[in-house]
Amino acid sequence: MNEIAFTPQVLNLLQKLDEDFYLIDGKKITESFESLKNSLPDNFNILYSVKANPNSRIIRILSESKSMFDICSLSELSLCLENNIGPELISVTGPAKSKHELDEYLKHEVHQINVENLEELDYVLANKKFRTKIFLRINLSYFTHHFGFSTEDTYEILKNHHKEISGLHLYYKSQILDEKLIKEHFKNCATFIKSLPADWIGHFYAINLGSGLGIPYFEGERELNLKSVFDGFNDYFSDIQFNKPVSYQIESGRYLVGRSGKYFCKVLSIKKIKDRQIYITNGGIHHAMILGCPFMIIKKNFNFSTSKDLAQKEYDIATIIGKTCFSEDILARDAKLPKLEKNDWIAFHNMGSYGESFSPVGFNGFAKLKTYFLQDL
């Protein structure tokens, strides 16, 4: 999978660098946003999940595309505000929010707070400003997770507070590449809403459907067919009697920015242990935890390419490891790749999301890595 990882521009950059780094293609972010937007019905808003990649330039790129933003911390709030994202474009999600955090969100009058427990709900109801909308995050229970309210609690809350609730956040799961599963989630969302008394949903302003839109990481995976995902969407909700026009929200981090990025690391040395060839790199899980994710049940190798000419006939079956003192700092296992030498580079693809922001960057005290943009080369 050689893609465009090692273009003349990139090779020129590699000659100047000794440390691992991320390379982002801003154009791909815009293209991904437009692809999603053009697949959605007209009554949709897209929210970028800042946790996927909190890079300021990425936030500005998506702001230019008219994205909204989903955050889960005060630092992400500050990041958005510093990049001129208005609070009316900010949604707050997360399983735990302190009173101090809620006070800051309410002070800035963010667009919506997706509350997840009774303490949050009571506090926001007592202290919210006029502009901030309250959404209930719901656990529909067809996957086990700890986010949101149970459906039983939701009925009780809406019975008592339906006039103050502006919408629902219906979480599903992440990294889905099966269109049928996403469509089934949409149908389940509609079924749940239809189970609610009409006067309880009369004040709804919007429905957040979560996301789950995945991207291919491994050999044999394919891109989502967005047209198939959203085809017939309005039919699921057409017979729900809302009192006013309701919009829908789709959250996405991975789908919007994942394919825009590559993670580059360089071979520092080569050794053999028994009959196993090992390439030791200057990268690792401290900057790219997702590659060596210790809680991945089935270990798979992410798609990657190298600076070696793939037309050469000599190949290695080798393991690629990082530089940290963690036994699971393994970036690829038993991978087929051209025979590499010291100072050759490896590029892991589709690494624009959950890279550095998902990694233990303080582990072993290595230097913070840099992110470059293809448009600057």
Q: What is the dihedral of CA 335, 339, 340, 346, to 10 degrees?
A: -40
Distances (CA, A) of 240 to 74, 136, 220, 250: 36, 18, 40, 19
In this prediction, residue 46 has a pLDDT band, given cuts at 50, 70 and 90, of: very high
Lookup: tokens for 180: 């049928």
| 132 CB neighbour count, 10 Å cutoff | 23
62-78 pLDDT per residue, tens: 999 999 999 999 999 99
Question: Which helix or strand (DSSP H or E) is residue 206 part of?
Answer: strand 206-208
Nearest Cα neighbor of 271 from 342, 328, 336 is 342
CB 53 within 8 A of CB 357: yes
Nearest Cα neighbor of 361 from 304, 303, 322, 321 is 322
Q: Give me the percent of the chain exceeding a pLDDT of 90.
A: 79
User: What pLDDT is stored for residue 2 in this prediction?
Assistant: 46
Pairing of strands 112-115, 133-139: parallel
- Counting beta carbons within 10 angstroms of the beta carbon of residue 183, is it exposed (0 to 12), middle (13 to 18) or buried (19 or more)? middle
Lookup: tokens for 219: 């050999």
Domains and CATH numbers, the chain: 8-23+258-376 (2.40.37.10), 27-257 (3.20.20.10)
DSSP string computed for 237-259: HTT---SS--EEEEEESHHHHGG
Within 8 A by CB and 6+ apart from 106, the residues are 113, 124, 127, 128, 129, 132
The residue whose two tokens read 């993670």 is 263
Distances (CA, A) of 201 to 163, 193, 217: 9, 8, 39
User: What pLDDT is stored for residue 220 in this prediction?
Assistant: 87
User: What pLDDT is stored for residue 202 in this prediction?
Assistant: 86
Amino acid sitting at position 147: F
Model confidence, pTM: 0.94
281-323 pLDDT per residue, tens: 999 999 999 997 755 555 789 999 999 876 677 888 999 999 9
124-173 pLDDT per residue, tens: 999 988 899 999 999 886 555 788 898 899 999 999 999 999 999 998 88
User: What pLDDT is stored for residue 340 in this prediction?
Assistant: 93
The answer to whether the Cα torsion of 293, 297, 303, 307 is positive or negative is positive
| Ramachandran class of 361: left when φ > 0, alpha when ψ lies in -120 to 50, beta otherwise | alpha
Angle at CA 277, nearest 5°, toward 274 and 282? Answer: 125
Q: Alpha helix locations (H) across the chain?
A: 8-14, 26-39, 56-64, 74-82, 99-107, 118-127, 151-161, 179-194, 226-230, 233-237, 254-257, 285-288
